[in-house]
Amino acid sequence: MKNLRAVYIIWYRDMLRLWHDKIRLVGAIALPLLFLVVFGIGLTSKMGALGPGVNFTQFMFPGIIGMTVLMSSFMSGVSVVWDREFGFLKEVLVAPINRTSVAVGKTLGAATVAMIQGTIVLLFAPLTGVSLSPGTVLMLLPLMFLLAFSMGAFGVLLATRIKTMEAFQAVMPMLTFPMIFLSGVFFPLEGIPSWMSILTKINPATYGIITIRQIALGTTSGTTFGLNLFGHTMSLWNNVGVLATFGVVMILLAMQSFSRQE
């Protein structure tokens, strides 16, 4: 009960911060929309259909939603590094609240902000020619949340290990860009060289991105835009299982690492 309260307090702080910096919402969706417009207009006519009745813009749109959620949540999770830099983390660390609750609250805060941003991008669906039924949206939201939560926890875990701003600035681009580019946001994962294919399968983000795409484009039952792991075609639940496992491992590690840090 007391721990739940702590989770809530930490989460609530993130909501307050978002409210103070509403401009962050604009910033966070500007990049995804830019990708959609530029690549969409630039490449869609040249690429033809990527699947049955799916042009490049339609293919990319679910990926962009996943990317928005992933980046936002990961960045917010890692923002604990800034709290350390500006000293606020000390206020949290000496407080009589369970540190594992702090890690969970921070992850939930990151995931919530990411969900808000992801949902805003989702509203642009009609403009991209992706038609989403209410049922589809109801399936997409929990999935986006799972991706957001896992990435938020990953971010928090990373932040407890990174102690200096220099290390932070060196590590961040090396993690975020490969995670996004090698997750099938921008291109189908079939027919890529095997070394690249291996990297995409190691990348946990992939399992979120392709599942979001399969649901959004209604291709969950077939192999279109799917993933083949060790000769096995991953079903929707297989992918969700991999992502959920990753999320659980991350949050547990984040909780542990957060309690131990000085």
Q: Which is nearer to another protein, 19 or 195 (CB)?
A: 19
Tell me if 165 contacts another protein by CB under 8 A.
no
For 5-36, give the DSSP string: HHHHHHHHHHHHHHHHTTHHHHHHHHHHHHHH
Residue 21 main-chain phi, psi, to 5 deg: -115, 60
Q: By CB neighbour count within 10 A (0-12 exposed, 13-18 middle, 19+ buried), where does 42 fall?
A: exposed
Minimum CB separation of residue 143 from another protein in Å reads 30
Q: Does 20 engage in binding with another protein (CB under 8 A)?
A: yes
- For the bound state, the minimum distance from the C-beta of residue 67 to another protein, rounded and expressed in Å, comes to 25
Contact 217, 58 (CB under 8 A): yes
- Using CB under 8 A as the criterion, what x/- string covers residues 77-96 for binding another protein? ------x--xxxxxxxxxxx
Residue 166 is a binding residue for another protein (CB under 8 A): no
Q: Output the smallest distance, CB 110 to another protein, in A.
A: 15
We find the least distance from the C-beta atom of residue 17 to another protein, in angstroms, to be: 5
Candidates 16, 127, 165, 196; binder of another protein (CB under 8 A) is 16
Single out the residue of 22, 48, 194, 262 in contact with another protein (rule: CB under 8 A).
262
- The helices-and-strands tally (H runs, E runs) of the chain is 12, 2
* Distance from C-alpha of 39 to C-alpha of 33, rounded to nearest angstrom: 10
DSSP β-bridge partners for residue 229: 232
Q: Contact between 34 and another protein (CB under 8 A)? A: no
Query: Least distance from C-beta 90 to another protein, angstroms?
Result: 5
> Mind spelling out the 3-state secondary structure of 43-102?
HHHHHCCCECCECHHHHHHHHHHHHHHHHHHHHHHHCHHHHHHCCHHHHHHCCCCCHHHH
- Is 6 a binder of another protein (CB under 8 A)? yes
Other CB atoms within 10 Å distance of the CB of residue 159? 25
Give CA 69 to chain center in angstroms.
4
Site stretch for another protein (CB under 8 A), options 3-11, 113-121, 157-165, 248-256: 3-11
Only one of the segments 14-22, 27-35, 152-160, 199-207 lies at the binding site for another protein (rule: CB under 8 A); that segment is 14-22
**21 binds another protein per the rule CB under 8 A:** yes
Q: Does 203 bind another protein (CB under 8 A)?
A: no
We find the least distance from the C-beta atom of residue 133 to another protein, in angstroms, to be 39
How is residue 130 written in tokens? 């992706």
Task: Catalog residues that contact another protein under the rule CB under 8 A.
Answer: 5-6, 9, 12-13, 16-17, 20-21, 83, 86-98, 262
